Amino acid sequence: MLEELKKKVWEANLLLPEYHLVTFTWGNVSAIDRESGLFVIKPSGVDYQKLKPEDMVVVNLKGEKVEGRYNPSSDTPTHTVLYNRFPEIGGIVHTHSTWATSWAQAGRGIPCYGTTHADYFYGDIPCVRNLTKEEIEEAYETNTGVLIADDFEENHRDPAAVPGVLCKNHGVFTWGKDAKEAVHNAVVVEEVAKMAALCECINPKVQPAPQALQDKHYFRKHGAGAYYGQKEE
């Protein structure tokens, strides 16, 4: 079942240690087949070096395991909520990457200080609040997804324009049109988090990049007027 998607999700998971986004098993990647309403995700707690395509777990949009010899990632309920609430996304990544998680632990979103950030995210990368004690005890992973989705809805954030979020005192979630793009965005978040932290060390009074510059860099890559790169044949 979904053998091609399993291979793609397996390959995407292996990119996390390659790009130094995970330590031990601190992360996961999933991707969804919208036609079937099923998604594939990394099994819980299995070392990346030992992973095989057939180890990937198939889950439905109720969060129920459909196929697989292992239990799915413990973050599966969060992925489930995000796939249900953000129908335009096709892949999700969760990491505790060092620089981005440092911003999350500080409870701060990442300001857009430069064009590298603006090329991929329109505005700050937000940091959502802590879950309450009741939310944690009720359904921690599910409510993490609900918190993210509610924040985006309440603050009118476009998940396509802001393809990632920090969870306070926790870590990072990113997404994209597929698993590979979601990993790409996770790498971007980690790099801009590092740049922003160093930027503030060099100049504690730094201000975000001018809006005109942010707009130029974001919209030359995204939207109807985009002209960066090559057109696909």
What is the per-residue pLDDT across 127-174, written as a single tens digit (0 to 9) for each? 999 999 999 999 999 999 999 999 999 999 999 999 999 999 999 999
Q: Domain spanning 3-219: which superfamily?
A: Class II aldolase/adducin N-terminal domain (3.40.225.10)
228 is catalytic: yes
Q: Which residues of the chain have pLDDT under 70?
A: 232-233
Q: Which of 119, 140, 150, 151 is catalytic?
A: 119
70 is catalytic: no
What is the per-residue pLDDT across 1-11, written as a single tens digit (0 to 9) for each? 999 999 999 99
Give the start-to-end residue ranges of the domains of the chain: 3-219
Torsions phi, psi for 111 (to 5 deg):
-65, 155
